[in-house]
Amino acid sequence: MMKWLEERYDLSDLKEFAKKKHVPAHKHELWYYTGGVALFLIAFQFVTGMILALYYVPYFEQAHKSIIEIVTKLNMGWFFRSVHHWGAQLAIGFLFAHLFATLLLKAYRKPRELLWFSGFILMGISIFFGLSGYFLLWDERAFAAVRVATGGLSAIPLIGDTIKAFLRGGIDVTGETLVRFYAFHVCVLPMATLLLLVIHLALVQHHGMSVPISQQGKESRPTPFFPNALYKDAIIWLIVLGIVVTLATLLPPEIGIKADPLAPPPENVKPEWYFLFLFQTLKLFPGDILGLNGEVIAVMLVVLAMGFCFLIPFFDRKSHAGQRSSVFTLIGTLYLAYFIVMTIVGYFS
Amino acid sequence: MKLILSSIAFLLSCMSYGIALCAETKIEVFPPTAYDQATVYLNLGFFWAGIIGLVILLKLKLRELERTQKMEREEAEKSAPLLE
């Protein structure tokens, strides 16, 4: 195969690049693999999503029925839906792990700012992937969760209502919203993901892996990427694939009652786990704070916190200069602790 | 006897009606028959056996690779010219 290609194309540059590519070896190197696992799971989601898209009907009267038919009538349909569900949960989980590892190891520092920005946007896209995919179920819980999630957007001053109307395709969550979310889920978001992934991976190749400031000078001999690190990646991917398949088999996700836009929302409705920290934050704020709308203040604070996190490479001047910055380690730890604590509180409340 | 048989028939019809009601509210998301479930679990076992086999194979390959790379490095260090 290689000989066949080499007779037709000049692969010497590519071979040279593969030979030179190395992965730094130090005690935090395990975190490098979270990005690879997230990439593997995104690819896995593309494949299982394509199979499901062959049978799903994105029309509000048939959406719920088509999912029931996929699960109950299609050969192995229940399995493909289940692996798509669990693949999404793990992909978002590994993306969060990758993001927090990058934040705490200061891998965002100069010259890797663009890597941080592209990764951060990819994280946001993945969360929207999760929300739009959840809504495609068209069951009462997904319906209520999307109504709450999109409704919260109106608390953003000036542009909130426009974004909300754009996402919903109208004033309220209706069949129009389903069509929009389907278009986002199978067309807009995959295209955006592919584009950003190409940029992100090209930047990784250009800059190489970041070595944490605390490990500089303490590294062992770097590991060749081809094939050593690739074999290690493959081992982890295989284990993750096994976990996804096991979860999909032992814990297939339930299908709720078909959504009725006119029915009251079900009691104790909760969003997916990756939204729980936001959901819990909104619950912390009273309706009225010194005459101002509590929800608006909560949403503004969340937007500010996320904006700060996004722009952190510009604020962390010490890391920029190659020095240890304990203040930003503390900030990163606080972000992580807040996310974990609020998710747990939201889950059990 | 007739009374017992009719009572059993009544109970069975009540149970089947109850099962039908439950089936209406809960949608089966996993193969319902015991035979299909056993096949799924068996295949999951085979799948894990395949994964473990592949992981062991890759581990062995990686170890062999690291050994040859180390030998090559040592060879190169030995044959490197020394300054007097």
B59 touches chain A (CB under 8 A): yes
ipTM of the complex in this document: 0.86
Which residues from chain A sit within 8 angstroms of residue B55, using beta carbons? 235, 238-239
Rg (CA), chain A: 22
**Quick one: CATH architecture of A28-214+221-274?**
Up-down Bundle (1.20)
- Ramachandran class of B27: left when φ > 0, alpha when ψ lies in -120 to 50, beta otherwise: beta
Whether B12 and chain A come into contact, CB under 8 Å, resolves to no
Is residue B63, in this structure, part of any structural domain at all? yes
Residue B47 lies in a domain: yes
How many percent of chain A have pLDDT more than 90? 71
Does A66 reach chain B within 8 Å, measured CB to CB? no
Cβ-count burial of A321 within 10 angstroms (0-12 exposed, 13-18 middle, 19+ buried)? Answer: exposed
State the nearest Cα–Cα gap between A64 and chain B, in angstroms.
11
Is A72 part of the contact surface with chain B (CB cutoff 8 Å)?
yes
B9 within a domain of the structure (yes/no):
no
C-beta atoms of A228 and B31 within 8 A:
no
* Min Cα–Cα distance to chain A from B46, Å: 11
Query: What is the predicted pLDDT for the residue at A295?
Result: 85
pLDDT single digits (tens) A53-110: 999 999 999 999 999 999 999 999 999 999 999 999 999 999 999 999 999 999 999 9
Supply the pTM of this predicted model. Answer: 0.88
All residues of chain A having their beta carbon less than 8 Å from the beta carbon of residue B48 are 242, 246
Domain annotation covers residue B52: yes
Q: Which one-letter DSSP state was computed for residue A55?
A: T
pLDDT above 70 covers what percent of chain A? 100
Judge whether B44 lies within some domain: yes
Residues of chain B contacting A247 with CB distance shorter than 8 Å:
none
Q: Is residue B54 part of a domain?
A: yes
In a domain, B19, yes or no: no
In terms of Cβ atoms closer than 10 Å to its own Cβ (0-12, 13-18, 19+), residue A172 is middle
State the pLDDT confidence band at B21, using cuts at 50, 70 and 90: very low
What's the whole-number mean pLDDT along residues A318-345? 94
pLDDT value at residue A168: 94
Tokens of A37: 């696992």
**What pLDDT is attached to residue A230?**
93
Number of independent structural domains in chain B: 1
Is the predicted pLDDT of residue B14 greater than 90, yes or no? no
Best B27, B28, B54, B77 residue to mutate vs chain A (most A CBs within 10 Å)? B27
Find the mean pLDDT for residues A298-312: 94
Sequence ranges of the domains in chain A = 28-214+221-274
Contacts A–B by Cβ distance under 8 A: 53
Q: Please report whether residue B22 resides in a domain.
A: no
Range of the domain at B74: 31-79
Q: Establish if A266 touches chain B: CB-CB under 8 angstroms.
A: no
Contact at CB, B29 and A253, closer than 8 angstroms: yes
